[in-house]
């Protein structure tokens, strides 16, 4: 008997209160065996058991309309904030170095601090959203970002600035794993390409940061050196406040996004998450609200929704035969490692007990069992390759991007005047704007014959070529063209990665999968600026060569991915 038929046959025969004790014991042993096999990926859960198809069909009937359009913008704010802050730190890095007189080998700590915060934020908020829902992370992450972003503009020392940026990173790092998963779970399958399109907000984050840098920094920083005086005197407390103004301005932009999320839109919980928690009535209410918002006249009840069929969700754990006499009671079913003498069918309309205090929610969020699911037979190869793609992409892109303003200031071409700071920030703005079409074109390319995998591979190898050209440039125009090509192709790559990762994993592990992948990218982001700073003291092109190799490795990993989600979504 195959896994699917065995699952259907055996799970339909679980004992009830009136079942003979001997028969019930035998069936219990068999059901526990099946539960273990399901846990370790030895039996494929049938689609009709998971309830994916009926729910997706219902979401399709609810349709795409004003609700999803608003959600696209508000979730996009999270992605915008992510890149806006990363680019902000890259842009102010030389001015912060001037202000606190930081050595080249240590200045990378500034970027590493925000990446370290992002790593912890991605791990925590991604797992938290799987265990406790998407709504709290959606409303909290940007608020933390705005608070510490504004506070960082008043940092009295370099190390206090690094500390503020760590906590800022903890907030903004949760946006990528939670906002993408949330938006995807409200979309009809026919509109899943919009998750890739949402990366246009990521690109606009860089554009906003570069515009702020161009408008603020050239006129509020220490005087530039000249041929006669390489290091003119500067009172940093008065003449070099531009980086503080930029942090404050970026914090205010983030605060505006917090206000929009908190007061202009009331976010319901994800219906897929609610169903996975046996909260069908609430899920029906959410879907009814979306249908009404989209102008679709239809009535949705709990009876229209499928039952989840994960073993730990489908069966409640009870403690004794005495409880059977009173009928099954719903108990905690969050843990795959719970042992109990009896499994009882859970009431599909009952609301599962969930942690009530914030401390209990944190404990649940840090439960390693969801992480273990990513390494069962079904997910192991995909998980490892997706993690490698995020890591190598972060190494390659960060090595180049974090120090780009410094690269531009250091560059000099025969027969051309040295660039002014206004020139540098203008060039960086052009570089940022070049990434915007990458996000838009990515949402089209993934629906062509290339699919997700082909688009990622093409953009990764193309980024490697463009970076190599940048490393051998001989004029400002070739520098602009090659750096713009890197921005376009790397943004295209990131857009597809951000869409592919939540698509390829199922609801139960989606936040954890994206969160851990994002965290690995942040770890690479922690290490890369430090390594790049050291390599810069040896040669300005060494970090660029590392970036080239990184993008080549990304392309290789993409080609090995076992799943193409173009038709699967």
SS (H, E, C) 244-300: HHHHHHHHHHHHHHHHHHHHCCCCCCCHHHHHHCCCHHHHHHHHHHHHHHCCCCCCC
pLDDT at 272 over 60: yes
Q: Are 119 and 526 in contact (CB under 8 A)?
A: yes
Q: What local confidence, expressed as pLDDT, does residue 48 receive?
A: 38
pLDDT for 564 equals 80
- Supply the mean pLDDT for the chain: 77
Q: How far apart are alpha carbons 483 and 401 in whole angstroms?
A: 10
Distance separating alpha carbons of residues 38 and 30, to the nearest angstrom: 12
Residue 226 has a pLDDT of 65
Of residues 188 and 165, which shows the higher confidence score?
Answer: 165
Q: Which residue(s) pair with 318 in the sheet?
A: 342
Three-class SS state of 342: strand
Higher-scoring residue by pLDDT: 128, 205: 205
Output the pLDDT for position 123: 82
Which structure tokens are listed for 381? 């190869």
Q: Which CATH architecture has domain 66-226+233-270+373-568?
A: Up-down Bundle (1.20)
pTM: 0.70
CB 412 within 8 A of CB 542: no
Count of beta carbons in the 10 Å neighbourhood of residue 219: 10
Lowest mean pLDDT: which of 117-126, 366-375, 427-436?
366-375
CA distance linking residue 260 with residue 545, whole number of Å: 42
d(CA 404, CA 111): 13
Residue listed under structure tokens 């096999």: 37
Interatomic CA distance for residues 173 and 171, integer angstroms: 5
Secondary structure of residue 36 in the 3-state scheme: helix
pLDDT for the residue 54: 75
Residue 318 parent element (H or E): strand 315-318
Distance CA(355)–CA(362), nearest Å, equals: 9
Q: Which two tokens stand for residue 170?
A: 């903890």
Q: How many helices (H) and strands (E) does the chain have?
A: 28, 2
The residue behind tokens 């009926």 is: 54
């Amino acid at each position: 008997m195959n896994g699917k038929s065995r699952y259907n046959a055996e799970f339909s025969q679980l004992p009830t209160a009136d079942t003979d004790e001997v028969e019930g014991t035998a069936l219990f042993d068999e059901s526990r065996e099946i539960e273990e096999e399901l846990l370790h990926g030895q039996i494929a859960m049938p689609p009709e058991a998971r309830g994916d198809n009926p729910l997706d069909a219902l979401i399709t009937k609810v349709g795409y309309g004003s609700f999803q359009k608003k959600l696209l913008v508000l979730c996009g704010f999270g992605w915008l904030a992510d890149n806006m802050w990363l680019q902000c730190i890259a842009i102010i890095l030389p001015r912060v170095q001037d202000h606190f007189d930081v050595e080249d080998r240590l200045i990378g700590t500034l970027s590493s601090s925000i990446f370290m915060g992002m790593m912890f934020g991605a791990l925590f908020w991604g797992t938290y959203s799987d265990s406790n829902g998407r709504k709290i992370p959606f409303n909290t992450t940007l608020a933390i970002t705005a608070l510490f972003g504004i506070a960082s503009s008043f940092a009295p020392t370099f190390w206090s600035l690094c500390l503020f940026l760590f906590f800022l990173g903890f907030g903004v790092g949760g946006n990528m794993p939670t906002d993408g998963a949330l938006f995807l779970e409200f979309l009809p399958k026919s509109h899943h390409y919009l998750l890739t399109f949402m990366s246009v907000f990521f690109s606009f984050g860089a554009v906003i940061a570069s515009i702020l840098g161009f408008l603020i920094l050239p006129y509020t920083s220490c005087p530039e050196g000249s041929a006669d005086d390489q290091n003119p005197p500067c009172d940093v407390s008065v003449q070099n406040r531009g980086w503080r103004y930029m942090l404050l301005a970026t914090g205010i932009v983030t605060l505006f996004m917090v206000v929009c999320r908190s007061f202009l839109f009331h976010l319901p919980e994800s219906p897929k998450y609610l169903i996975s928690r046996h909260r069908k009535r609430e899920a029906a209410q959410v879907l009814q609200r979306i249908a009404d918002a989209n102008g679709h006249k239809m009535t949705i009840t709990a009876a229209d929704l499928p039952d989840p069929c994960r073993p730990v969700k489908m069966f409640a754990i009870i403690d004794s035969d005495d409880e059977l006499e009173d009928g099954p009671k719903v108990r905690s079913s969050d843990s795959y490692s719970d042992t109990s003498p009896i499994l009882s069918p859970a009431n599909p309309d009952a609301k599962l007990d969930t942690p009530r205090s914030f401390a209990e929610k944190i404990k649940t969020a840090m439960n390693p069992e969801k992480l273990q699911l990513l390494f069962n037979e079904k997910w192991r190869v995909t998980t490892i390759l997706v993690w490698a793609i995020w890591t190598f992409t972060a190494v390659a892109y960060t090595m180049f991007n974090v120090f780009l303003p410094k690269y531009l200031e250091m560059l000099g071409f025969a027969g051309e005047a040295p660039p002014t700071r206004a020139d540098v920030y203008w060039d960086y703005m052009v570089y940022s704007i070049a990434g915007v079409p990458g996000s838009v074109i990515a949402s089209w390319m993934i629906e062509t014959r290339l699919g997700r995998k082909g688009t990622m591979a093409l953009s990764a190898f193309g980024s490697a070529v463009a970076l190599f050209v940048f490393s051998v440039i001989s004029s400002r125009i070739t520098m602009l063209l090659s750096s713009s090509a890197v921005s376009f192709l790397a943004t295209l790559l990131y857009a597809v990665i951000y869409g592919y990762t939540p698509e390829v994993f199922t609801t139960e592990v989606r936040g954890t999968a994206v969160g851990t992948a994002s965290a690995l990218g942040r770890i690479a982001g922690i290490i890369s600026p430090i390594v790049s700073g050291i390599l810069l003291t040896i040669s300005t092109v060494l970090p660029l060569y590392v970036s080239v190799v990184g993008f080549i490795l990304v392309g290789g990993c993409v080609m090995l991915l076992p799943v193409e989600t173009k038709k699967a979504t």
